[in-house]
Amino acid sequence: MKFGDPIKTVITNFDDKGRGFTPPLAIPFTAPGDEVEATFVKRGKGMKIGRLSSIVKPSPDRVDTPCPHAGVCGGCLWQHLAYDAQLRFKKEMINRAFERAGHEERVAEVMPSPETFYYRNRMDYVIGWQGEVGLKEYGSWNRYLDLSTCLLLDKETPMILQTVRELMHELKIEPWDAKKYIGDLRYCVVRLGKNTGERMITLVVHDLVKFDDTRTSILVTRLSPLCTTLYLSENPEITDLSVGKTHALLHGNEFLTEEVNGIRYMIHPNSFFQTNTRMAAELQDAVISSLSLRRRGTEGEVDVAGARILDLYCGLGFFGIAAAKRGADVYGHELDAQAIELAKRNAETNGVGDRMRWGAGPTEALDWSAENPDVVIVDPPRAGLHPKALKALLENAPPRIVYVSCNYHRLVEELKELKTKYRVESMQALDLFPQTPHVEVVASLIKQA
């Protein structure tokens, strides 16, 4: 098969990335049951990649897409699927991964998100080299979509993106060129407090020096009516990242605040926070429910009073503070020292500073000698646990582990080692990412006798 060759086929399944698949061909933006025409565009690992040309006969799970950018934009790979089908396929893909890895565990269902559009509380809109303000095309690092709308964040987003375009033109702000490593403006990051009504806009630039008082004054005048906090953040590196090393607060509050399950969190421009606020509440509840077998009251409330909890990859204290509010003693550990400082403030704000201790550094370098936890919570990034962190977890072998995974492909691999000392007590899947193949899984592990 040569580049540009036409293909006509029927999609039979999804591959592990959520692309329509008929071995050995993967075609993004298709669904099982679609009869399609496509064009061969490149080779991937062990497969060929096609670009969808037309739908000859649609899958029964296919629906009309409300966004004009669907089918090209990298933000929504599954917008063409009915939501009940998205949940069904996520369940099937999780269980298929567990079966292939030799595990007997399965998820019974995927908890649906009550909002399938406008559910995110953060979007990182990239600036393209031709002045586009939006997102990258699916599967591309250097092709950009100039978005006229976006159904993931909120209805005010298009106004913000258009204002940024106008400011680039009026102030002669050069867009960043990721090939040549030149330009001024790299990203427009918008964060929302869904339950507080706050909005933070962060313009990530290459060099703060180029933004003098005249430029920043105009930025504030035009953008401050659209937000409660406005930052300029400098990323002087050539790496394509939407986080800054230096920050200049131009307007409003230093932090965005969000409230989940009655707990208030302060969020910095660089802070990680679960991107689906309403489902983050469900995720937090799922983790708390997995911390202990003890129950109290007619409602069966989890009793963790006095429990010693080690919260690894703790971020801003999202799970640890919730556990401390229920009487647990928590030690939170996180690589990002800035996150730890903010986690301390979040704990104090929520009245549990006296029940929490904190430490900053690599999880794999944690000194376990001072810790004797009843439960360890791990919420690693998509790459999963560092091998040394996994080894330390097994060597210290706490009675219970609650593993929060945003990448179940890593979870199934790490369970092969964890199950040498643990059994999986329960597993729950939650859809924090509608319109995408991604899904969160919470696994509760009990040490074997």
Structure tokens at 2: 């040569």
Q: How far, in Å, are 97, 257, 430 from residue 120 at the CA level?
A: 27, 15, 15
CA distances from 52 to 21, 76, 307 (A): 12, 15, 54
The catalytic position among 67, 188, 406, 414 is: 406
Complete edge-to-edge strand list for the sheet that includes strand 144-146: 144-146, 133-136, 122-127, 185-193, 198-205, 229-234, 246-252
Q: How far apart are CA 6 and CA 434, in angstroms?
A: 31
Of the chain, the end-to-end C-alpha distance in Å amounts to 55
Four-CA torsion 76, 317, 393, 416, nearest 10 degrees: -20
- Tokens for 371? 């810790």
Distance separating alpha carbons of residues 330 and 200, to the nearest angstrom: 30
- Sequence-ordered alpha helix ranges (H) in 224-352: 277-289, 318-325, 337-349
Among residues 299, 347, 296, which one has the least CA distance to residue 325? 347
Q: Calculate the dihedral angle through the C-alpha atoms of 135, 13, 42, 64, rounding to the nearest 10 degrees.
A: -40
Q: Is 406 a catalytic residue?
A: yes
Choose the catalytic residue: 132, 234, 334, 440: 440
User: In this structure, what token pair is assigned to residue 209?
Assistant: 């020096």
- By three-state DSSP, how is residue 331 classified? strand
* Token pair listed for 299: 């409602």
Catalytically active residues are: 406, 440
